[in-house]
Each structure stands twice: as C-alpha cells, then as structure tokens.
Amino acid sequence: MTNRAGRLLQRIDRAGDGLTADLILYAISAAFALVTALTSTLLPHRAWGAIAVWAYAAATLVVVVQLVTRSTAGRAALAWTTGAFAALLPLVVEAVQRAGGRTDRAQEEVLVVENMGDRLLHHGTPYLSRDAIAALPLDDRLMGYSPYQPGMAVFGLPRAAFGDFWWTDARVWFAAVTVAALIIAVRLLQKGSPGAGTSPLVVRAIQAVAVLPICALTLATGGDDLPVLALCLLALALAATGRWGWAGVAIGAAAAGKLFAFPVLVVLAAFAIASGKWRSFLPGALGLPILVLIPPFLVDAGAFVENVLRFPLGHGLVTSPAQSPFPGYLIAHHLPDGHFITMALLAAVAVVIGVRLVRRPPRTATTAALICGWGMLAAILLLPTTRFGYLLYPIAFLIWAPALTSDISHRAFSKHTA
C-alpha cells in the first residue's frame, strides 16, 4: 500500500516535473475561488473568494512561466506564498472588518469558540448545561452548544481577556498554531528526505494544506479544524522521525481540541506499541486530553456530555446544521430506521479498522497516515451529520502519507519485517 501510494504521486510529478499538476491545481483553485466569490450564499465565503482568486490566478501565471522556462525552482516557496495570500490575507481582512463592526465576516464556529473562551474564563467551564440551553430563546439555542473538546476554548481566551480587536479573533490564533505546526512538520520531512531541497512529495504535502481551497477557505472563514489537522500531521511527522514523546504531545493537543483527532491518536498508539515506543508516546497522547477535562468535569460533567456527545449524535435540544448529502445523511433521513443503519455501518468500519490495527499494526508513519485517511473518509461519508469541509482531514492524510517516509521509518519497517 505504501509503495503504491508513493509510486502514484511520483508518476503525477513526472509530468512536466510536477509543474503540470501544479498548473491544474492552481487553475482549478482560482476557478473555485471565483465561483465562490460570485455565487456563495455565505458572506464570509464570498469575501474569501474575492481575495483568494487573485492569489490563485497569480500562482497559475507563475507556473505557466515555469513550464515555458522549464524551471522547477521555488515550487515549495510558491505553495507557501499562495497559502499566505489565499488564506492568511483574507483571514486578516475579515478579522479587521469584523472588529470594525461587520457582523458578516466570520462563520458561526468562530463565535462558538470565542463564547467557549469567555465561559471558561468567567465560569470555569466552556459549556452550558442542558437546562441553561433550554432557557435560551429558540433561535439562540444552536449557538448555545459547543460541540468541541475543552481545549478548543483556549483559542477564545484572547477575545475574552482583551476585548474585540482583530488580533483577538479566534481565527488569528487558529492560524498561528496551524502555521507553526506545519512549518515544523515540513522541516522534519525535509530533514528526513534524501537529498537537498524540498522533495516533490513534500511539495505536495505543503499544497495539500496551504493551497487547497477546502483548507484555505476553512482557515479564513471558520478555522477550527485547521489547527487540529496541522497538529495531527505534525504528530505523524514526529513519529516518522522517531520523536515519539513530542508526537504524543502533538496528537494529545489535537485531541484536547476536537474529537476528530482521536482516531489518529488510536492509530498512532498502535504504531507506537508496535514500535516499542508506547512509554514515550502515551503520556502526552492521553494525558493532555484528560487534563483539559478536569475543569469542566469539576464544574458540570453533564454539560460536557450534552455538548460534546449528545448534540453531535443528534440528541440535543436542536439539530446540528452539519448535513452534507453524503451516504450516511441520506440513509439516516430517507430509510426506515436509517439512523440505526448508519450507526451499524460506522461500528462495522470501526471493527474492521480495529482488527487491522491488532493483527497488522502500522510499522511506518506512512502506513499510519493511510489508515487514518481511508478510515476517516469512510467515517465522514457514513456519519448522519457531517460537513463537506471535513473531507480536508482524509485528503491531507492521504497526500501526506508518501512524504512521511523517512530513513528512520524505513529502518523500523525493515526491522519488523525481516
């Protein structure tokens, strides 16, 4: 599986030394941004598209020049630069406009996280109880829910502590953690790759998170998934290079923010156990998610259950708006007992992956990333309440998988298969 994934990306990169695929990527991204700017019903998305289209168009022109001159220099730099102008610049513009009084420059997730920070600072828990949510006006109950792990509230603390400024916008801090984690992860991959410079596989890894519109749009307008994803990728890169203690800290921090990181934690734990590194990995991986639970559990454990478990599973006082028409949603809403069918299918996927991890645990970070990618893709497609944007997780894991191969992971693989 590992070799097939690597060979596939290598064949793609042979076309014009990778520039042909770059051209397609940037051109399609520019078209997506233009369509979003002109047609999206979400005003933060339209504002993103109006800025990002120019970043993607400029990158497309640069790649055309590279194709004409047959120069592949600077592909990684172009990816980073495009990400800065397609994601970070729109983010800052929207944050400044929002601080100036615009109420249509952030998705609801941003307000939810900032409310979590305010509650944590003043009440010791980021969650409202079921009774407190029921006491809200009907139209406000959805925003009363905070379906994230307690660690996500940290991103809302700057606004709670210092007031309404552009730099206290939760997205600014989402971006800070995302960029820091990605830079460290890419540097680790560059050190682990043979030869000098940035390998084509690492360039694709950068593009998967910095360039793809699904990631740039999410970071600029909502953002809460990007630091979680970046920390998961950093954990995989740390594991690939043998830094198991820090890998545990990275994935533990991700899991402290969002439940989406727990499947990655489980896969990395299987990898750590198979590699004999579980003593280094597990304290951070399990300790951080447990640590952030202490304050809300001391204040009101039932509020945590209501927000993080009951609401996402469809048992809250209101229904989650995450309803993209994937198979799980269609089954749950159009078949008799569809909700139970989707739960059974999800349980079957979990059993299959669990058996795979027990009988054939991953021996390399590449294999771990592939298991995470395909497993999360299946889960997202089968969940009765999900969003199209969640696909950024499996897409990133699958594209990063070949780039995670390092000398250390090769040696570990050889040792366990000899």
| Digit-coded pLDDT (tens) for 235-259 | 999 999 999 999 999 999 999 999 9
pLDDT category, 197, cuts 50, 70, 90? Answer: low
SS3 190: helix
- pLDDT value of position 320: 76
| 3-class state of residue 403 by DSSP | helix
The span from the CA of 204 to the CA of 73, in Å, is 14
| Rg (alpha carbons) of the chain, rounded to whole number | 21
DSSP state of 357: H
Band the pLDDT of 408: cuts 50, 70, 90: very low
In this prediction, residues 38-45 reach a mean pLDDT of 95
| Alpha helix segments (H runs only) across 211-314 | 213-221, 225-240, 244-257, 262-275, 278-291, 294-304
The pLDDT confidence band at residue 6, using thresholds 50, 70 and 90, is low
Closest CA to 396 of 224, 164, 226: 226
Least-confidence region, from 17-31, 46-60, 202-216, 313-327: 313-327
Band (316; pLDDT cuts 50, 70, 90): confident
Q: Check the CA dihedral 109-113-119-120 and report its sign.
A: positive
State the pLDDT confidence band at 416, using cuts at 50, 70 and 90: very low
Alpha helices in 322-391 (DSSP H): 327-334, 338-359, 365-382
Does 383 have pLDDT greater than 90? no
Q: Has residue 23 got a pLDDT over 70?
A: yes
Which of 324, 312, 308, 313 shows the shortest CA–CA distance to 387? 324
Token pair in block for residue 275: 């590699």
pLDDT greater than 80 at residue 407: no
- pLDDT exceeds 90 at position 265: yes
Q: Is the pLDDT of residue 409 over 50?
A: no
Whole-number Å distance between alpha carbons of 136 and 100: 28
C-beta neighbour count of 43 within 10 angstroms: 16
Mean pLDDT of 363-380: 94
Helix (H, G, I), strand (E, B) or coil at 211: coil
Given pLDDT bands bounded at 50, 70 and 90, which one contains residue 410? very low
Does residue 145 register a pLDDT over 90?
yes
**Interval 12-35 mean pLDDT:** 88
Domain extent listing, the chain: 2-417
Interval 292-315: pLDDT, tens: 999 999 999 999 999 998 888 778
| pLDDT band for position 11 (cuts 50, 70, 90) | low
Q: Nearest to residue 289, comparing CAs of 409, 407, 141, 152? A: 152
The mean pLDDT value for 217-230 works out to 94
The residue length of the chain stands at: 418
- The pLDDT score that the predictor gives to residue 228 is 97
Q: Give pLDDT, residue 415.
A: 43
pLDDT at 332 over 80: no
Q: What average pLDDT score do residues 77-93 get? A: 97
